[in-house]
Amino acid sequence: MSSQIGRFKVLSGGVISLILMLGIARFAYTPLLPIMLEQAGLGLSEGGWLTAVNYLGYLCGAITASLINDLVLKDRLYRIGLVVAVVSTLGMGLTDDIWLWSFYRFIAGLSSAAGLLLGSGLILNWLIRHGHRSELGIHFSGVGLGIAFGAIAVELMSHHFDWRGQWLMLSLLGTLMLLPAWAWLPPPDRSKVTNSGKVMVDKPPSRRFLLLFMAAYFCAGAGYVVSATFIVAIIDEMPGLRGLGTWSFFILGMAAAPACILWDLVARRSGDIDALLIAFCLQTLGILLPVVVPSPMMAMAGALLFGGTFIGIVSLVLTMAGRYYPTRPAKMMGKMTIAYGIAQIVIPAITGLLAERSGSYSDGLYLAAAIMALGTLLIVGLRVLESNQTSAIS
């Protein structure tokens, strides 16, 4: 197999795996949430609860990823995660029991962690070994494509299937995606030398830097989870915006698809920390626009800004983790995602409770924006710390 064909297969398999394990197993719930609220007897607080359970599974998966060093075991768990993604999607359409739904959302969260952390770590390891590290942004485009795929699939299927039929159809599509995602990722290479003979050496950051970094990423998780989960329901319940929720989610996904590549270019010019600072500011604006100025144009603008930044933040952070730990990138990726994941458990549950009181998920967006503002300040602190550490070394 030539180098170009091998690179194409690895990157394509990675993109497809993210469409399956995140776009379908995790994010399809967002455009399906209003339909399930209407057709399946799901309550507002229960909708928030299922989201929290999903992120609890994701957090458990992140913790597991942070503890595993063996690449062969990571590869095995990644492949199990592909199967679980299909099973959890199928299960959602086979029951209307809240406890079974909770179980399937939990294991879907485990699958998402396997895809985003273990799968991305394995692919990053392969790219570094073969001199293609800068192409990780192509892999992460699978997240945005997955969101867009889920949104357009639900929009098209909603005219022909009820909520149950849509979950079943998504599981069928996921089964077709499982095959290339499984076959096109080669077995992992455990040597610490690249194909060109260069030794890969880990260069971990200081403890203070890591803690501040994790705190900022916690805030990013809070900012992300409310919009990513409730944006369809929030926009659909606003006066004059009904029916635009799914389309806003589609725009969000399409904006996210090229975002990782674009933010990688920004980071090369400005540095990783400054790129993160810009992304935090723009994401905060994207979260607020639909509720501060409730118009179709602002709803779409907010989706565009949010979609173009949230996955960029994830990509920048996980790529930085890979640079600090090239021999075992999933280790720091897992630690960072624990911080990100804790926010994704707590904030949806709070948003669900706020929605029960007010009858709307909109208050959750104000909460998310406030936490993102705090995260922006933490990134400023991270920039100051990095500058001081650089001055001390020089």
pLDDT of amino acid 374:
95
The reported pTM is 0.78
Sketch the domain layout of the chain as residue ranges. Answer: 7-189+200-393
User: What pLDDT shows up at residue 132?
Assistant: 63
- pLDDT by residue (tens digit) across 226-264? 777 777 777 777 776 677 777 877 888 888 888 888 888
Which residues in the chain come in under a pLDDT of 50? 1, 394
Express each pLDDT in 129-165 by its tens digit: 776 655 667 888 888 888 889 888 998 998 899 999 9
How confident is the model at residue 200, as a pLDDT? 60
- Taking Cα atoms as reference points, which of 379, 39, 360 lies closest to residue 215? 379
Dihedral angle over CA of 273, 276, 282, 286, nearest 10: -160
Give the CATH number of domain 7-189+200-393.
Answer: 1.20.1250.20
Reported as half-sphere exposure (CB side, CA atoms, 13 A), residue 200 has a value of: 25
- Exposed e or buried b per residue across 213-235, where buried means at least 16 C-beta atoms within 10 angstroms of its C-beta: bbbbbbbbbbbbbbbbbbbbbbb
What pLDDT score was predicted for residue 43? 84
Q: What whole-number distance in Å separates Cα of residue 189 and Cα of residue 196?
A: 14
Q: What length does the chain have?
A: 394
- Which ranges in 68-206 belong to alpha helices (H)? 71-92, 98-113, 120-129, 136-157, 163-183
User: What's the rounded Cα separation, in Å, for the pair 37 and 278?
Assistant: 36
Rg, C-alpha atoms of the chain: 20
